[in-house]
Structures are given as C-alpha cells and as structure tokens.
A and B are shown apart, each in its own frame.
Chain A
Amino acid sequence: MNIGTRKILDRSFTAVGIGSIIVMAVALMIVVVPIITNGIGAVFFTGTVEHRKMLFSEFKRGDSENLSSEVASSERYRAKVYQMLTGFEAELETMAPEQKAEYQAKYTQVRAALQALLGPLPGDPEPMLTRFKYGQTRWEKAEEKLHDLLYETRWDNSNPEVMAKEYFVSRAIGFQGTSLVKLFPYVKNNLESMLLPEFTCYWGFITDSSVDSHFFGGIWPEIQGTFFLAVGAMLFAFPLGVVAAVYFTEYARPGFLNSMLRSANSTLAGVPSIVFGMFGLAFFINTMKVSESKSVIAGALTLAIMILPTIIRAAEEAILAVPKTYREASLSLGSTKWNTIATVILPAALPGILTGGVISLGRAAGETAPIIFTAAVSVGSAIGLADVFSSPTPALSWNIYNLASEHEAAAQIRHVQYGMVLALVSIVLMLNLSAIVLRARISKKLKG
C-alpha cells in the first residue's frame, strides 16, 4: 500500500470515529437534557400557597403563622370570586327554566375549573380524595387550569377528510349579559394574589412518601425499594458469583461438565429479563415459597439470578488477568492454594471484580421486568427492613413505567415521572462513578 492511500485510510477512519462519537453524544444529549431539566422541576418549581397548605396538613411541615397569614391574604382575593358565584347562583334562580338549564350546564363547568384551580369552593362537600382537597400546587399547572377556566375546548369536525382540530372558545362570551361575566377577567388578573406563587425547593420530593398515588409528596418509598432490591440482589449474587468464578478458574477440571456449566452461564447472561421475572414467580414464590406473595426478598433473589452470570464473567476475567507470577511467588513461599487465592489472587483481581459487581448493581437497580411479578407494587409506603421477607415494595423502575402508562391521571403528574427517571439515572450514574473511583484507587494501590 503506498503512503498516500494509507494516509487517506487513516484520515477517513479518524473521521468515521469522530463522527460516530458526535452522533452518540448528540443522541445522549437529546435523551438526557429533557430528563435533567424536567426531573429537576420535581424539586425546584414555582409553588403556590396550595402547595404550602398541602405540605402543612399532609406532612406537618412549614410555619403555621406564616401560612395562615398567606391563606388570609389569598382568601381576601378569593372571597370576591365566591361572592360572584353566589351572586350568579341567585341570578340563576330568577331565570326561565330552559335558560336556567342552559346556563346551569355551563356554570357547572366553570365551577369545576375553579375547583381545579383553587381547591374546594365554599359549600362543597369535603372531597374523598386528597388530590381534590387542594387547588393547583404548581404555578405552571395553575396557568394551564386558568386557560381551562377562560376557554372552552372544542373540536372542529367539519372536514371529515382530516383529523378533528382543537380550538378554543372564550367562556366569558357564553355568560354575556349575566353577572358572572366579570369573573373571568377578575380571576385572570388576580390569580397571583389568590395563589401566591413563590420559588420552591421541595427536597421532600426525595424524602417524602407519596400522598394519593403520587399526586402529592415524594418518591422515597420507590428510592428505598430500589435500594433494597439492588443491594439485596448483590448480597446474594456477589459472594456466589465470586465463589463460582474462583471455582471455574482455579478448581474446575476441564471436561464435559465444566464446559457445560460455562456455556450455561454464558447463555444465562443473554436470557431476556422478563423470563427471569416469570422464573422468579414460578420458582421463588410458587415453589420455594420464600414468601406468601410478592416480596422484596423474592425480587432480590430473582434479580440476583439475573445478574449472577455477569458477575461470574467479570470475576473470572479479572482472576484470569492476574499475572501467573503472583501465583508462583505465593506458592513458592509455601502457601496453600486456598491461601494464595485469598491473599494474592483475589486482592489483585479486586478492581475487576468490583467493577463487574457495581455494573451489575446498576443493572439490578434499573431492571423492571424481573420485579413485576416478584416484588413491585405501584403504590405503597416505605417498608421497614424487617418487612423485606413479607412485603412487596414500590421501586423506581417499575413505578416509572406504571406512572407513565397505567396511572389514571398520568398526564397530571409528568413532573413526578421525570423526577423518578432523574432519580434512577442519578442512582445508576452514581454507582458507576463510585465504581470508577474505587477501581482507580485500588489499582493505584496495587500499582504503587
């Protein structure tokens, strides 16, 4: 090959390499940036007085004097709204029956929009669900609800060829000529005074339990559940995996059984995780009866089986990478085989073994399928350490899926979903980061 072609080849290969790295980076940004910006919104946001009311009565948090003065000031502006409502209700009574029916229907919608915005109105019965006890706790949501109050959403079906088009009609027009028409500009102009938005830093999102299936509160039960499951899986899989790797590399005699075991192990590493989930249900719960039904222990065992092949592989490779000379040196000093493994081989292989372990830990934290049937529930409170043998737990991976797809009001709690995603991503990243740091430290110690 002449030097010219070689240079062109080198250059084009460099270009391809850099290009693919850029594509990867862009793809990563597209995924990660919304996760971070939206996820951070779960903790840092513009909260309304309703948020502070909720915090005080559900979590006993906040300054009661401050809160009551805030409530008093917001009530002063809200009183005018209530007045307008009672005024209009009286006006309704004086109307002719069919006119009254027409206005009544529209008025019910207005009341509903106001309830969503400000919470229960005077005279409403005490709501059953906590989510209806408060108005909008987040300012950006309140603005959406304000829009709902001011405009009615209609669908344009006139052209059957295309999809129906959404358009808005001002509700104020519908109430032209009644006393209620003044309500709309009033609410619009005084919403801030009624809700008192204020920059809020809600750390409770991480440390609180959820209230009314994630309408309010935080994701601590999920974080704790993820932690229990991942650490529990590690407690089983790590020692077992290291022992198995030591057996494979140091004790197993080459032969049919050994190669069978090894290929079984490799195959296991490629089995889809949902299969492990089914296996966990069938084996740990139905056959072994480690618990009555779903439990943390069953989920941890299932995850352990799932990550075991990876840990074994990583540990095997790390052990095989230990220079033969260490083994010779140790044996020549009169060390037994076991002693050599424990005092020389394993310490030297530790960085590799740990890396495999932490990567598996991250995987155990993030997997959904294995815990669906064995450990996860959609809503639940944080469980104590003693309950791991009997109770299931919420967990980030499963709850992200559940909130995004199966929750009855998925669209209203997007910030919680993003918050959970960010929490999970941070946990896995932190684990991987700690693995890198740990590895670097141990390698440095080994290298001197």
Chain B
Amino acid sequence: MPRLIEYRQAIREALDEELARDPMVVLMGEEVAQYNGAYKVTQGLWEKWGDKRVVDTPISEAGFIGMGVGASMLGIRPVMELMFWSFYTVAWDQIINNAGMVRYMSGGLINCPIVVRGPANGGTGVGATHSHTPENIMASFPGMKCVCPATARDAKGLMKAAIRDNDPVMFMENTLLYGEKGEVPDNSELPEGELFIPLGVAEVKREGTDLSLIAHGRAVLTCLKAAEILEEEHGISVEVVDLRTIRPLDEETIFESVRKTHKAICVDENKPFCGVSAQIASSIQLHCFDDLDAPVLRVSALDSPAFYSPPIEKLQLPYPDVIVAKALSIC
C-alpha cells in the first residue's frame, strides 16, 4: 500500500527529521509554535521539540529574518517561516543584501545556510498584497537558491536538501497544495533510510513525444491535467517536465525533453515579465534552436496584480484550457 500524505505533512516530516538530525536546526516564524502554524505545516513540532527549537516571533519580518541570517553566519541552520511569502518585501534587505550577498562580499569567508519558507501563490482571494509569486525575483540574485515543489514527495525530499544546503534557499510552498495528498514513501521502505531529493534536479512527471510542457509548483499539476486532455481529445502525446528547483536549474532535463518533442510551452504562475518561463524560453532557443519545430510559447499569470473577486482571479492563473489552446496552436 503506497503511503498517501498531505503536502503539508510531508514538509512537516522533513522539518521533524531535520530537527532530530541536527541540533543546529531551528524553526522560527509567526505562529509556528504554539498556534501550530497559520497553515498547520508545523503542527505538533513545538510540543515535541520545545521552545528552543521551534520559536514564535513577533510580527517583525525584517528583524527576525535578519536575525536568522545573522545566526546562520555562526552555523545555526534557521528554517524561517514567512506566513505568506508575500511578506518577503518587509524583509527584502535582509534576504537579498545580507543572505544573498555576504558570501561574495566576504570573498567566501562567510556563508548563510538559511531556509526561508512559506506559501507563495495566488488563487486564494486574498488580494494583490498577499498573492505574490517571487520565485523569479529570488532566483534572479546570484547567491540565492530557489525551490518550488509541486508534490508532497518533492516537498519532503527537497526540504531536507534545502536545510542541509550551505547557501540561502528560498523554499516556496503553496496554500492550494497544502491539502493535496501524494505518495510519499515511508523511510523504512527506502534503502538510504530517508527521502532526500537534491536541489537542481528536474523530474519528468509524464512522458510524451509531441510536446514538452515545462513548469514548476502548482502549474505542474495544471500541465498534467492539460496533458490528459490533449492526449484524450486530440491524440497529442505530451511530456511534462517539473523543474522542482528554479535555481540551480536542471537545464539538461529540459533540453533532453525538447530534443525529443521539438516543441515546448513554458507554464508558470509567475507574472510574465521576466518570469521563470522567460528564462527557460531563452535557454531553450539558445541551446535547442535546431531542434525546435515551433517557437517556444509561454503561459503565465495574466499581467496585472491579483484580482480579489474569486471567479476573476481564477482566470488570472494558468488553467488547463489555456494550455490546451496554446498547444493546439503549434501541434
């Protein structure tokens, strides 16, 4: 029997296992301890690990994220929760200038093994300020790493890699995925005794021969739905590549797929201007120019701030029909 658990529980397991493995790991953020987390990701961890390892902070993102960055310079491994990734703007300077730049500016003398995690998504009717998807922004700074898991399994394995990584890792979850169940093997079933997925390794989530859909985060699930429709209704065989990590980026898996299918659509919930898909499209045209039978297309969030009204906001994010229509335009 495969073990099905929620995405949030998968992350929780990774946090729990890392707390057990390394006494330097500390979880911190607003409501992560006594309240069990605004989205219940950290449920039960404060009870199990106590005040020293799981810490509630006041609403002071610049202060506590910066504190985490400073502590990481001394070898602490803070895993900081932003209740919404959208609040990164309050801690912008600490994340970008301090976590992101100190290694370079110190000529490699200092490094920041910090993880900043939380949900980064639109689609929940919380308005423009709470619906940011900053993976493209974070990944645009050399020195930063950025992870966007789409499934429970990936969320667990990648979180463990993120915590053990010696560079700052921006880990972006999704409130719409927290309740999604996925197959996550129990540690006892694994030869290594744990689930560990290295950063910088994409995964082909569905194999196909006619078209590559390249996505990350929740857009992967949207692509899988679109792929089914394209297969069933149009006889088009679609491959879905899940980037999993935005930076480091597994370009080889993307290129391999495109060399096979000769057509690519990059799908993301980023805004289109300089979004993740823009970077990928640029890389594909550079490295796979002769393999392409059609221009590389993109499907991103519509180019406006998030609209509150639920039925309208749904239209702002990629949904299967849009991807299907795009695919049909080149297949």
Q: Do A and B come from one complex?
A: no
